Amino acid sequence: MKNNLFDLTGKVALVTGATHGLGMSMAKALADSGAKIVVNDINPEKLAAAKATYNADGYEVFTYIFDVTNEPQVIEGLDLIAKEVGPVDILINNAGIIKRVPALEMNVEDFRQVIDIDLVGPFILSKQVARGMIARNSGGKIINMCSMMSELGRETVSAYASAKGGLKMLTKNLATEWAKFNIQVNGIGPGYFATAQTAPLREAGHPFNDFIISRTPAARWGSPDDLQGAAIFLASHASDFVSGQILYVDGGILASLGKASNE
């Protein structure tokens, strides 16, 4: 019997903020599994450049501009997607920002912006996509990009950790409310990955770079492609009885106290 547990043929997948980094890698993985890919971003120039990259790499993508924090823009964008591509079956709430500022120095506007994009945005997208899934009685998959900071704090990332901790609990709550509609809501919790977002931490000689290498049992930064299996799993029938879970893809870092520097 053909094993179609991971087959996404006929599905429409929306990945927010997927012009590069983790979002692009996960979008390509879902496309490789048969899904039609819809890529969102807030920046038209970056989205146009990303489309060219996807196409050059052999992927057809549909691109839509909207700010995930702006509910009217999101509603309009989802309506267009439904008309031009098809209703969204799989949503990856990937768009996000981080501001690394000591709490005592962080202004409230910056704190609020991180919460707005990293937590309120996924709420808006999830609510509007779920409404369509429920209206169609289609069921569906929602995947929220959580973080190690959904579990741990570290200096300078109070807003981000608050948002990602909240996103973990939003994931569990929506999983509870929407199970009756056959909508599975899960999270992916990447460890430390080499993307534009962490580039400042990986600059030559930055102490954090050595710290992460030593603190991660796999002794390396994650590569965006390391997330592809988790994304396909949580987007496919293989996870139909999995909901409210955060799947950590972290090289073992959350499992380990770490080792003494001279070990």
The site for ligand NAP (CB under 6 A) is made up of: 16-17, 19-23, 40-43, 46, 67-69, 94-97, 117, 145, 147, 190, 192-193, 195-198
Phi, psi dihedrals of residue 143, rounded to the nearest 5°: -125, 120
Give the Cα separation of 74 and 97 in Å (integer).
Answer: 18
The binder of 68, among ligand NAP, ligand GCO, none, by C-beta within 5 to 8 A per type, is: ligand NAP
The binder of 100, among ligand NAP, ligand GCO, none, by C-beta within 5 to 8 A per type, is: ligand GCO
Alpha helices in the chain (DSSP H): 21-32, 44-56, 71-84, 108-115, 121-136, 158-178, 207-215, 228-235
Catalytic residue among 54, 59, 64, 160: 160
Decide if residue 185 touches ligand GCO (CB under 6 A).
no
The binder of 94, among ligand NAP, ligand GCO, none, by C-beta within 5 to 8 A per type, is: ligand NAP
CB of 193 to ligand GCO, least distance (A): 7
Identify whether 160 is a catalytic site residue: yes
* Angle between helix 121-136 and 71-84 (nearest 10): 40
Decide if residue 227 touches ligand GCO (CB under 6 A).
no
Decide if residue 197 touches ligand GCO (CB under 6 A).
yes
Decide if residue 148 touches ligand GCO (CB under 6 A).
yes
The binder of 43, among ligand NAP, ligand GCO, none, by C-beta within 5 to 8 A per type, is: ligand NAP
| 231 closest CA partner among 64, 13, 51 | 13
The residues, any chain, with a CB within 8 Å of residue 15's CB and separated by 6 or more, are 23, 26, 27, 30, 37, 38, 39, 40, 92, 94
What is the full DSSP assignment across 120-147? IHHHHHHHHHHHHHHHHT--EEEEEE--
Give the Cα separation of 262 and 255 in Å (integer).
Answer: 20
Decide if residue 127 touches ligand GCO (CB under 6 A).
no
Decide if residue 202 touches ligand GCO (CB under 6 A).
no
CB of 251 to ligand NAP, least distance (A): 11
Decide whether 16 or 158 has the Cβ nearer to ligand NAP: 16
Token pair belonging to 115: 């919460």
Decide whether 49 or 134 has the Cβ nearer to ligand NAP: 49
Q: Which residue has the tokens 């409404």?
A: 131
The catalytic residue positions are 160
Footprint of ligand GCO on this chain (CB under 6 A)? 98, 100, 147-149, 154, 157, 160, 190-192, 197-198, 201
